[in-house]
Amino acid sequence: MVNRYVIITAAGSGKRMGTDIPKQFLPIDGKPILMRTIEAFHSVPNKILVLSGRDIEYWNQLCERYDFKVPCKVVEGGEERFHSVKNALEFVPDDAIVAIHDGVRPFVSDVVIEEAFKVAEEKGSAVPVIDCVDSVRIIAEDGSNAPINRNLVKLVQTPQVFRASILKKAYNVDYSPAFTDDASVVECAGYSITLTKGNVENKKITVKNDLNLN
Protein backbone atom coordinates (compact mmCIF):
# COMPACT_ATOMS: atom_id res chain seq x y z
CA MET A 1 0.00 0.00 0.00
CA VAL A 2 1.37 3.39 -0.98
CA ASN A 3 1.98 5.83 1.84
CA ARG A 4 -1.01 8.20 1.83
CA TYR A 5 -0.86 11.69 3.33
CA VAL A 6 -3.29 14.58 3.51
CA ILE A 7 -2.35 18.22 4.09
CA ILE A 8 -5.32 20.22 5.36
CA THR A 9 -4.79 23.94 4.87
CA ALA A 10 -6.41 26.06 7.58
CA ALA A 11 -4.00 28.96 8.07
CA GLY A 12 -6.20 31.60 6.42
CA SER A 13 -7.68 34.50 8.34
CA GLY A 14 -11.07 34.27 6.60
CA LYS A 15 -11.32 37.96 5.72
CA ARG A 16 -14.22 37.40 3.33
CA MET A 17 -16.32 35.81 6.08
CA GLY A 18 -16.22 38.97 8.20
CA THR A 19 -16.37 37.10 11.53
CA ASP A 20 -13.98 37.50 14.49
CA ILE A 21 -13.13 33.81 14.46
CA PRO A 22 -11.64 32.44 11.18
CA LYS A 23 -14.30 30.48 9.27
CA GLN A 24 -12.62 27.08 9.66
CA PHE A 25 -13.29 27.22 13.43
CA LEU A 26 -16.99 28.15 13.17
CA PRO A 27 -19.43 25.35 14.01
CA ILE A 28 -21.79 23.51 11.70
CA ASP A 29 -24.36 21.45 13.59
CA GLY A 30 -22.48 21.96 16.83
CA LYS A 31 -18.98 21.01 15.65
CA PRO A 32 -16.21 23.22 14.15
CA ILE A 33 -15.94 22.99 10.35
CA LEU A 34 -12.26 22.04 10.56
CA MET A 35 -12.98 19.01 12.76
CA ARG A 36 -15.58 17.83 10.25
CA THR A 37 -13.05 18.28 7.42
CA ILE A 38 -10.38 16.27 9.26
CA GLU A 39 -12.91 13.51 9.99
CA ALA A 40 -13.78 13.32 6.27
CA PHE A 41 -10.23 11.97 5.75
CA HIS A 42 -10.67 9.04 8.17
CA SER A 43 -9.31 6.70 5.47
CA VAL A 44 -5.98 8.56 5.17
CA PRO A 45 -3.52 7.46 7.87
CA ASN A 46 -1.16 10.49 7.88
CA LYS A 47 -2.69 13.91 8.45
CA ILE A 48 -0.91 17.27 8.48
CA LEU A 49 -2.88 20.28 9.65
CA VAL A 50 -1.59 23.73 8.69
CA LEU A 51 -2.59 26.49 11.09
CA SER A 52 -1.61 30.09 11.52
CA GLY A 53 0.76 30.53 14.48
CA ARG A 54 -1.78 32.82 16.16
CA ASP A 55 -4.49 30.09 16.03
CA ILE A 56 -2.58 27.08 17.39
CA GLU A 57 -3.40 27.74 21.04
CA TYR A 58 -7.07 28.36 20.15
CA TRP A 59 -7.17 25.07 18.16
CA ASN A 60 -5.72 23.16 21.12
CA GLN A 61 -8.44 24.62 23.36
CA LEU A 62 -11.13 23.66 20.83
CA CYS A 63 -9.78 20.08 20.68
CA GLU A 64 -10.11 19.85 24.46
CA ARG A 65 -13.56 21.38 24.51
CA TYR A 66 -14.87 19.01 21.82
CA ASP A 67 -12.83 16.02 23.01
CA PHE A 68 -11.36 15.84 19.49
CA LYS A 69 -8.62 13.21 19.35
CA VAL A 70 -7.88 12.54 15.66
CA PRO A 71 -4.05 12.57 15.43
CA CYS A 72 -2.70 15.38 13.21
CA LYS A 73 0.77 16.85 12.86
CA VAL A 74 0.31 20.60 13.27
CA VAL A 75 2.51 22.79 11.03
CA GLU A 76 2.64 26.59 10.99
CA GLY A 77 1.32 28.23 7.81
CA GLY A 78 2.67 31.11 5.75
CA GLU A 79 1.53 34.33 4.17
CA GLU A 80 -0.34 32.76 1.22
CA ARG A 81 -1.86 29.29 0.85
CA PHE A 82 1.16 28.50 -1.38
CA HIS A 83 3.54 29.08 1.56
CA SER A 84 1.33 27.06 3.91
CA VAL A 85 1.46 24.04 1.56
CA LYS A 86 5.20 24.47 1.04
CA ASN A 87 5.82 24.40 4.82
CA ALA A 88 3.74 21.22 5.19
CA LEU A 89 5.52 19.43 2.33
CA GLU A 90 8.69 19.30 4.43
CA PHE A 91 6.97 16.65 6.57
CA VAL A 92 5.89 14.42 3.64
CA PRO A 93 8.21 11.62 2.46
CA ASP A 94 9.27 11.66 -1.22
CA ASP A 95 7.63 8.30 -2.00
CA ALA A 96 4.19 9.28 -0.61
CA ILE A 97 1.00 10.20 -2.42
CA VAL A 98 -0.30 13.44 -0.94
CA ALA A 99 -3.71 15.08 -1.01
CA ILE A 100 -4.03 18.80 -0.35
CA HIS A 101 -7.42 19.89 0.90
CA ASP A 102 -8.98 23.17 2.00
CA GLY A 103 -9.91 23.12 5.69
CA VAL A 104 -13.18 24.81 4.76
CA ARG A 105 -14.49 21.95 2.59
CA PRO A 106 -16.01 19.56 5.15
CA PHE A 107 -18.46 17.91 2.74
CA VAL A 108 -16.03 16.07 0.44
CA SER A 109 -17.20 12.48 -0.12
CA ASP A 110 -15.34 9.20 0.55
CA VAL A 111 -15.75 8.27 -3.13
CA VAL A 112 -14.11 11.49 -4.37
CA ILE A 113 -11.17 11.03 -1.98
CA GLU A 114 -10.63 7.37 -2.93
CA GLU A 115 -10.85 7.99 -6.68
CA ALA A 116 -8.45 10.92 -6.48
CA PHE A 117 -5.85 8.85 -4.60
CA LYS A 118 -6.17 5.90 -7.01
CA VAL A 119 -5.81 8.10 -10.12
CA ALA A 120 -2.88 10.05 -8.64
CA GLU A 121 -1.06 6.82 -7.81
CA GLU A 122 -1.41 5.78 -11.45
CA LYS A 123 -1.07 9.09 -13.33
CA GLY A 124 0.82 11.37 -10.93
CA SER A 125 -2.00 13.85 -10.36
CA ALA A 126 -5.75 13.97 -9.73
CA VAL A 127 -7.85 17.12 -9.50
CA PRO A 128 -11.60 16.79 -8.83
CA VAL A 129 -13.97 18.97 -10.86
CA ILE A 130 -17.71 19.42 -11.27
CA ASP A 131 -19.81 20.70 -14.16
CA CYS A 132 -20.81 24.32 -14.35
CA VAL A 133 -24.63 24.52 -14.22
CA ASP A 134 -24.89 28.31 -14.62
CA SER A 135 -24.47 30.10 -17.93
CA VAL A 136 -21.00 31.60 -18.24
CA ARG A 137 -19.78 34.90 -19.72
CA ILE A 138 -16.27 36.14 -20.25
CA ILE A 139 -15.33 39.80 -19.82
CA ALA A 140 -12.86 41.24 -22.34
CA GLU A 141 -10.24 43.88 -21.48
CA ASP A 142 -12.42 46.62 -23.03
CA GLY A 143 -15.23 45.69 -20.63
CA SER A 144 -17.45 44.00 -23.23
CA ASN A 145 -18.79 40.54 -22.49
CA ALA A 146 -19.64 37.41 -24.44
CA PRO A 147 -21.09 33.97 -23.68
CA ILE A 148 -18.85 30.92 -23.60
CA ASN A 149 -19.79 27.25 -23.86
CA ARG A 150 -20.30 26.16 -20.24
CA ASN A 151 -19.66 22.53 -21.22
CA LEU A 152 -16.04 23.54 -21.74
CA VAL A 153 -15.79 24.99 -18.22
CA LYS A 154 -15.22 22.89 -15.07
CA LEU A 155 -15.25 24.07 -11.45
CA VAL A 156 -12.19 22.89 -9.55
CA GLN A 157 -12.32 21.47 -6.02
CA THR A 158 -9.95 19.88 -3.54
CA PRO A 159 -8.50 17.40 -2.54
CA GLN A 160 -5.91 17.76 -5.28
CA VAL A 161 -3.74 14.68 -5.07
CA PHE A 162 -0.18 14.18 -6.39
CA ARG A 163 2.89 12.03 -6.13
CA ALA A 164 4.89 13.84 -3.44
CA SER A 165 8.01 13.79 -5.64
CA ILE A 166 6.17 15.84 -8.32
CA LEU A 167 4.64 18.24 -5.82
CA LYS A 168 7.93 18.93 -4.05
CA LYS A 169 9.69 19.67 -7.34
CA ALA A 170 6.84 21.96 -8.42
CA TYR A 171 6.76 23.87 -5.12
CA ASN A 172 10.49 24.58 -5.33
CA VAL A 173 9.76 27.99 -6.92
CA ASP A 174 8.95 31.49 -5.77
CA TYR A 175 5.31 32.43 -5.15
CA SER A 176 3.29 33.83 -8.03
CA PRO A 177 -0.24 35.29 -7.73
CA ALA A 178 -1.15 32.98 -10.66
CA PHE A 179 -0.94 30.04 -8.23
CA THR A 180 -4.61 29.80 -7.21
CA ASP A 181 -4.40 26.10 -6.35
CA ASP A 182 -1.92 23.22 -6.33
CA ALA A 183 -2.73 22.14 -9.89
CA SER A 184 -1.60 25.53 -11.18
CA VAL A 185 1.76 25.14 -9.38
CA VAL A 186 2.28 21.61 -10.73
CA GLU A 187 1.28 22.64 -14.25
CA CYS A 188 3.72 25.56 -14.16
CA ALA A 189 6.48 22.98 -13.55
CA GLY A 190 5.58 21.27 -16.84
CA TYR A 191 3.34 18.42 -15.68
CA SER A 192 -0.12 17.74 -17.07
CA ILE A 193 -3.14 17.43 -14.78
CA THR A 194 -5.61 14.53 -14.70
CA LEU A 195 -9.19 15.49 -13.83
CA THR A 196 -11.43 13.32 -11.63
CA LYS A 197 -15.02 13.60 -10.45
CA GLY A 198 -15.81 16.00 -7.60
CA ASN A 199 -19.04 16.11 -5.55
CA VAL A 200 -21.44 19.08 -5.66
CA GLU A 201 -21.77 19.19 -1.85
CA ASN A 202 -18.00 19.77 -1.59
CA LYS A 203 -18.43 23.52 -1.36
CA LYS A 204 -15.71 25.84 -0.14
CA ILE A 205 -17.26 27.72 2.76
CA THR A 206 -16.24 31.29 2.00
CA VAL A 207 -18.89 33.82 2.95
CA LYS A 208 -21.46 34.01 5.79
CA ASN A 209 -24.24 33.01 3.43
CA ASP A 210 -22.59 29.59 2.97
CA LEU A 211 -23.32 28.92 6.65
CA ASN A 212 -26.71 30.68 6.84
CA LEU A 213 -25.13 33.03 9.39
CA ASN A 214 -26.79 36.21 8.10
Q: Using CA atoms, how far apart are residues 199 and 139, in angstroms rounded to an integer? A: 28
- Tell whether residue 50 is a contact of ligand C5P (CB under 6 A): yes
Strands 73-76 and 46-51: parallel
The nearer residue to ligand C5P, 53 or 145, going by C-beta atoms, is: 53
Task: Identify which of residues 67 and 174 has a Cβ nearer to ligand C5P in the complex.
Answer: 174
* 134 φ/ψ angles, rounded to the nearest 5 degrees: -80, 160
Residue 166 Cβ vs ligand C5P, minimum distance, rounded to whole Å: 20
Separation of alpha carbons 192 and 125, rounded Å: 8
The β-bridge relationship of strands 27-28 and 31-32 is antiparallel
Site for ligand C5P, residues 62 to 101, rule: CB under 6 A:
77-81, 84
Of 6, 12, 185, 202, which one interacts with ligand C5P (CB under 6 A)?
A: 12
Residue 157 in contact with ligand C5P, rule: CB under 6 A: no
Task: Select from 17, 62, 86, 102 the one that contacts ligand C5P (CB under 6 A).
Answer: 102
47 in contact with ligand C5P (CB under 6 A): no
Q: How far apart, in Å, do the first and last CA atoms of the chain sit?
A: 46
**Torsions phi, psi for 61 (to 5 deg):** -65, -40
Give the footprint of ligand C5P on this chain (CB under 6 A): 9-12, 24, 50, 77-81, 84, 102-104, 206
